[in-house]
């Protein structure tokens, strides 16, 4: 018995030691890879500072820049494809990744660190993206799957990003790729019968128009491959949450799943948009200047993008920048410029000038189809309508040439436009700085018309030459008639 007891004790001791060794070698799978869930990486730049590097052309990042943000959009629902969107407390950025099931590694709420050296900052339709070089269209290319871990490092999970609460008319480019919340939002009546996507996949995307109690608007743009594509758009009013994006001059919202629209169940706010206002021809001549555009555009004047010979264009008030800007500002947008009646103004005097002009800077992604539009209520009892205006080329460093035209269409939604005979210089850019007077005589074409009349100062073709595109503007628009 004594011998057996000793053997038992020896065996038990050996087993205990083995258990301790095994336990000491075992790693707990749930423990974070870093002390607080985040890697030992020093963040060098905010996402807003990253965005500021983009001046209208792709930027190859050659410095040791480290960025960080929390994932606000992943591919779990299928509405985002091979991309994630992250946000810090200053801005957001879209990251193009050539991999699927990204939500397994980078789910919403995970902090992500980006070692950005070797990546490229670019834009698609004006939306800023990080990628690995660019394609022939100068758009960012997805980071190859084999290289993703070289640039992206996952951090802590479960982080919550509170959406920015904005009205639709407050949306602008600085909020792109950020999580926003729109109160009192509702789908336009015409779109309440739509589903978010096309379950048949006949259309790759479906756009649903949204309004609130302001004059702003946007569309919810949803992939037909999203797992909620067959869900009908909400009929009520309430909070709408999503990632704010832009495509050229159009405001868009990407929802992550249907929980982003779950609160749109309240009573609708009708009418959402005030009745349309337009220009009434009361006393001839009628002068329209732009000295107060820091507050709002003149009644009946809109700025448009994607205009064509058969389409008025998308209302691009969201792309209009009310604050005074320099003539040399190269970012796309409709702008509040100092009038070019005095071309000697320096930057400070341009900002302070009280004589303002309505302008636009074209870019590679928004070139043809920008327009200044004048909506006239009717010409009942009027004849021999004439128009004059100053067409201004404001940035002498812009070598590209933009060719403008004046045309008109009639009716609530014109589908054809007739080019009018404009007398005067109808080009901007070409390394010139000038303010030229243009006159237009519509003859009898618009006499005594009881319908709406739309007159456009529009560029429908691509610019010529190379280099920066023009800063173009109009001022002192005058209509006269008998």
Q: pTM for the full model?
A: 0.56
Provide the CA 462 distance to its chain's centre, in angstroms.
Answer: 21
pLDDT tens track for 23-53: 444 333 333 455 568 998 999 999 999 999 9
Res 36: pLDDT: 64
| Parts of the chain belonging to CATH 2.60.120.260 | 286-480
Q: Do residues 143 and 63 touch, judged by C-beta distance below 8 A?
A: no
For the record, the structure tokens of 361 come out as 């800077």
Q: Hey, what CATH topology would domain 47-155 get? A: OB fold (Dihydrolipoamide Acetyltransferase, E2P) (2.40.50)
Per-residue model confidence (pLDDT) at position 21: 38
Regions in the chain scoring below 50 on pLDDT: 1-32, 272-273
- Residue 318 main-chain phi, psi, to 5 deg: -65, -25
Query: What is the pLDDT at residue 55?
Result: 93
Residue 325 is predicted with a pLDDT of 94
Peptide bond into 42 cis (omega under 30): no
Torsion of CA 226, 230, 232, 238, to 10 degrees: -20
Other beta carbons within 10 Å of 449:
18
Predicted pLDDT at 23? 41
Query: What is the phi/psi pair of residue 173, to 5°?
Result: -60, -25
Count CB-CB contacts under 10 A for residue 112: 19
Q: What pLDDT shows up at residue 4?
A: 38
CA–CA separation, 474 and 480 (whole Å): 17
Instruction: Check: CB of residue 435 under 8 Å from CB of residue 392.
Output: yes
Q: Virtual CA dihedral for 355, 361, 366, 370, nearest 10 degrees?
A: 30
Q: Considering only CA atoms, which of 288, 292, 303, 294 is closest in space to residue 334?
A: 303
Cite the residue boundaries of each domain of the chain with CATH code 2.40.50: 47-155, 164-261
pLDDT single digits (tens) 49-100: 999 999 999 999 999 999 999 999 999 999 999 999 999 999 999 999 999 9
Q: Which CATH architecture fits 164-261? A: Beta Barrel (2.40)
Give the span between the Cα atoms of 212 and 169, in whole angstroms: 9
Cβ distance 474 to 278 under 8 Å?
Answer: no
Per-residue b or e along 453-476, where b marks 16 or more CB atoms closer than 10 Å to that residue's CB:
bbbbbbbbeebeeeebbbbbbbbb
Fold of 286-480: Jelly Rolls (2.60.120)
Quote the CA–CA distance of 340 and 324 in Å, as a whole number. Answer: 13
């Amino acid at each position: 018995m004594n011998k057996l007891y000793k053997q038992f004790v020896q065996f038990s001791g050996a087993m205990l030691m083995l258990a301790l060794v095994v336990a000491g070698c075992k790693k707990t799978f749930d423990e974070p890879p870093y002390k607080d869930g985040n890697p030992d990486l020093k963040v060098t730049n905010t996402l807003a500072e990253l965005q500021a590097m983009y001046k209208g052309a792709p930027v190859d990042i050659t410095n040791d820049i480290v960025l960080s943000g929390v994932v606000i959009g992943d591919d779990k629902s299928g509405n985002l494809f091979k991309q994630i969107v992250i946000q810090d407390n200053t801005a957001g950025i879209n990251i193009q990744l050539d991999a699927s099931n990204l939500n397994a590694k980078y789910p919403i709420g995970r902090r992500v660190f980006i070692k950005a050296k070797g990546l490229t900052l670019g834009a698609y339709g004006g939306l800023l993206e990080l990628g690995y070089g660019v394609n022939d269209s100068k758009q960012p290319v997805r980071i190859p799957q084999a290289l993703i871990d070289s640039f992206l490092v996952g951090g802590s999970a479960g982080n919550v990003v509170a959406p920015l609460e904005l009205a639709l008319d407050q949306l602008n480019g600085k909020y792109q790729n950020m999580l926003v919340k729109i109160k009192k939002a509702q789908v336009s009546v015409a779109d309440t019968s739509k589903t978010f996507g096309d379950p048949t996949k006949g259309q790759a995307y479906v756009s649903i128009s949204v309004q609130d109690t302001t004059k702003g608007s946007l569309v919810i743009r949803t992939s037909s491959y999203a797992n909620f594509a067959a869900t009908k758009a909400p009929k009520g009013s309430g909070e709408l949450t999503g990632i704010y994006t832009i495509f050229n001059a159009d405001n868009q919202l990407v929802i992550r799943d249907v929980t982003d629209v779950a609160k749109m169940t309240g009573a609708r706010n009708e009418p959402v948009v005030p009745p349309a206002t337009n220009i009434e021809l009361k006393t001839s001549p009628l002068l329209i200047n732009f000295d107060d555009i820091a507050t709002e555009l003149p009644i009946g004047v809109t700025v448009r993008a994607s205009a064509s010979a058969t389409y008025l264009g998308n209302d691009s008030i969201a792309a209009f920048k009310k604050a005074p800007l320099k003539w040399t500002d190269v970012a796309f947008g409709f702008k509040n410029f100092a009038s070019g009646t005095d071309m000697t103004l320096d930057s400070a005097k341009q900002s302070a000038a009280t004589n303002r002009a309505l302008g636009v800077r074209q870019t590679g992604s928004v070139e043809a189809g920008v327009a200044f539009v004048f909506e006239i209520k009717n010409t009942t009892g009027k004849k021999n309508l004439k128009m004059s205006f100053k067409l201004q080329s404001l940035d002498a460093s812009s070598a590209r040439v933009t060719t403008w035209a004046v045309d008109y269409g009639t009716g609530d939604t014109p589908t054809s436009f007739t080019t009018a005979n404009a007398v005067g210089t109808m080009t901007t850019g070409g390394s010139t700085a000038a303010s030229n007077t243009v006159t237009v005589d519509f003859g009898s074409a618009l006499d005594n018309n009881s319908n709406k009349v739309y007159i456009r100062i529009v560029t429908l073709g691509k610019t010529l030459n190379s280099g920066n595109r023009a800063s173009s503007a109009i001022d002192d628009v005058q209509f006269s008639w008998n």
